[in-house]
Chain A
């Protein structure tokens, strides 16, 4: 019963705020709406017995990524797009066909999702515990862990280079 209520609240929140992200004209409002979606998704994670990932979701996504978005939105200011035809213009048919395709295959996947264990045995190991995840990370998925560090290093170096180019563009060093 508790899971159903939690799921209902989180699902409605995620989809509702998601609609806000996609359809708000104002960039600031869309970014704040994304926080709502991320919090709702964190609630979904809690309903799925993954509290560690839920906490990381709130800290990393809502706490760091969205704040970075808000900084950039504030920095670039409120410049509108050029008034003109919709982006979908010529490609409208292909775009909507692709959307229908994604929806169709997604619906098939959902209807087919009973392939696995429909209701798992009450978990004996605590899958969502930090200890379990850390163990899985460092023992079974060490390569992914190391690749993660490489990705972060490349992103940090790339950000520094981009910032340097921007400063040089303004005549500084």
Chain B
């Protein structure tokens, strides 16, 4: 392995921190979900990196499971976003104050 595992972990950390900044700053729920995708991808990079380091397919299996969870999360997240914000004029999570759609 020419590139050390630490380099891949550094990319993973960079993506995770970017996603975290996005989740903290964004007010548009769609962009908030995009930032969550960024963080999930950071986790996947670390998992595949460790899978390579230990020469074990378990990390790749875990990464595939993470992808499934991400897909399910996006389906529910987008469904909620559409049903809540369809009738509102602003796409802003800070405006939400009731659990009624």
Q: Which of A21, A80, A140, A148 has the most CB of B within 10 A?
A: A21
Task: Name the CB-closest residue of B to A158.
Answer: B76
Interface majority SS (helix, strand, loop, mixed), chain A: helix
Give the distance in Å from the alpha carbon of A155 to the alpha carbon of B73 in the complex: 8
Contacts of A165 in B (CB 8 A): 83, 101
Q: Chain A's nearest CB lies how many Å from the CB of B37?
A: 6
B10 A110 Cβ-Cβ under 8 A: yes
Q: Which residues from 3 to 21 on chain B have a C-beta closer than 8 Å to any C-beta of chain A?
A: 3-11, 13-21
Q: Which of B4, B34, B49 contacts A21 (CB 8 A)?
A: B34
Contacts of B4 in A (CB 8 A): 113-114, 118
Residue pairs across A and B with CB atoms within 8 Å: the count is: 258
Q: Which of B76, B85, B94 contacts A159 (CB 8 A)?
A: B76
In the complex, how many residues of chain B place their beta carbon closer than 8 angstroms to a beta carbon of chain A?
80
B24 A127 Cβ-Cβ under 8 A: no
Interface majority SS (helix, strand, loop, mixed), chain B: helix
Given the known interface contacts A15-B14, A22-B22, the answer about A50 and B6 at a Cβ–Cβ threshold of 8 Å is no
A144 B61 Cβ-Cβ under 8 A: yes
Q: Which of B37, B76, B94 contacts A65 (CB 8 A)?
A: B37
Contacts of B58 in A (CB 8 A): 136, 140-141
Q: Chain A's nearest CB lies how many Å from the CB of B25?
A: 6
Sample 29 A-B pairs with CB under 8 A, ordered by A number. Answer: A1-B2, A14-B15, A22-B19, A22-B35, A27-B28, A27-B31, A37-B38, A45-B48, A47-B3, A48-B51, A61-B37, A61-B41, A65-B74, A68-B74, A68-B75, A69-B33, A73-B30, A76-B86, A81-B90, A82-B27, A87-B25, A87-B27, A88-B24, A116-B54, A121-B55, A127-B57, A133-B57, A148-B68, A162-B79
Interface residues, chain B, CB within 8 Å of chain A?
Answer: 1-11, 13-22, 24-28, 30-31, 33-35, 37-38, 41, 44-45, 48-58, 60-65, 67-76, 78-83, 85-92, 94-95, 101
